Structure 1
């Protein structure tokens, strides 16, 4: 199933302006809360209407502002999993699933029973949504979407309301489900780890605009923009400017740095991931500085060390390392090297 989306819609804080194509893959839209992710899905589903643009699914035009085409949600055959699951509160589990199945009463019953088995909902057929756990509600919602033979699956922060244990269990189940679904899936999230584990390609959204689109490996290795770097978990960022082809100055860290990449003329920021520092007990030649320890924070399985270069009043840098490694280093003078191939060069 090929999905083509090119729409604009004026919102309170910004104009939603997105343009992307997806076909038979799990495509993530990664962005902070309020950036326009959910509104994009609502426009595709027909719940909201764009001001202008075009939406096509598998050759069928769902919306075209110039030709005055705007199919109602029921004719779009898209499965939209809302954050709150949107189950019918006055219907049982069985009735919620059977309601979306077309055909005879016999076919509705047979299909509902099939999906109840598939999603391990046996024994809950006569229960109403209010008496289900969050995980059970989610499974019913998934079952209902697939029972409706949706051509497109849209998941809006599907794990946001779940505790960590249940979230992981359902993520495993969702991963298996999506492998079998083999149709176009849009996955909305602000969680980089979920996106990395479940999706093929990632679009980074900020203030209604898609800043960059890449496969999941590229978006983490070379996020390209400051927003993408932060959303993919880069804890250290600084304003930066070019010195020459391979040298830059990190303004907020007060460091001159050498990079293996060629520094672009439009460099605006530089990023560095917190676990890539290389500690030594002696001064090295390139990208090495004496580290002043400002604060040590014990995390579950690691230490987070807040540092700055000695004799500088720079922005603090975050260094993360395993507990055993910190125990070996903490009573010694520490020099940290930033590997030349680990710097992330960023635009605005």
Structure 2
């Protein structure tokens, strides 16, 4: 039994070279979208109309013609979904290197609330010479601002994470790699991170460090005294009034506690060895030639030689002597 062609006029016009393959695909797609209740005669008339149009029209004009005919033959449109389209949606995909790609959308009200938090955090800091818009583009600023929002949520006393305070993570690394900032660490038994990133986490995240010897055998699991207590954090907020880096205006709630003498090198978790830094300046201090020391109980920063050949020490003079709300 011979099966009739779905679109014989379209196929004939394409074979003659009168219409392009793109025209033919568009016509076939339009014919397939017509309801089955439409008569054969009406389908044939519709196909002829579209083929005649395609002989002298571009793809844009043909698409408009297809849509007009669909609207005429099927005025009710597609059947409604059994469940309504969600107002908010988010998906994520974990890549092989452990990074995560997000995709989704928000309803207008949720979007406005999110941007009201995100946009102020993503603005360039005009009074901070280390925050160069040419170096840190808008996309990176948005990513850093999003992580500030996550940090604020994670530190809330009613946060649903495992610890209820700072992020609760397990980092596995050899002691030599941690000291040398070389090699890799394993985050939560799944994702590889650099040793340098592990050192940043070791400052203030509530991590459980699993230190290994050269044979891969566990040397130590955690050190409770390393964690910055809420009492110490309040004292830091009173002393530093926010990010202590010169020129930064970030408030204490946006900051992390940084060990001046690293914890792995024997540095104590007490007020005299801690300083508040925002996420951006925390990473900058770990990954650049800026240095930090405590002078008379207050943090003092020394810039790299390319910024100041004389390497004159700097302090944050923006914050007032009055304590600021944390």
Q: TM bucket by the smaller chain?
A: under 0.3
**Which structure: greater strand fraction?**
1
* Higher Cα Rg, which structure: 2
Compute the TM-score of the two structures, normalised by the length of structure 2: 0.23
| Structure of greater relative contact order (alpha carbons < 8 Å, 6+ residues apart) | 1
TM-score, length of structure 1 as denominator length: 0.22
* Structure with greater helix share of residues: 2
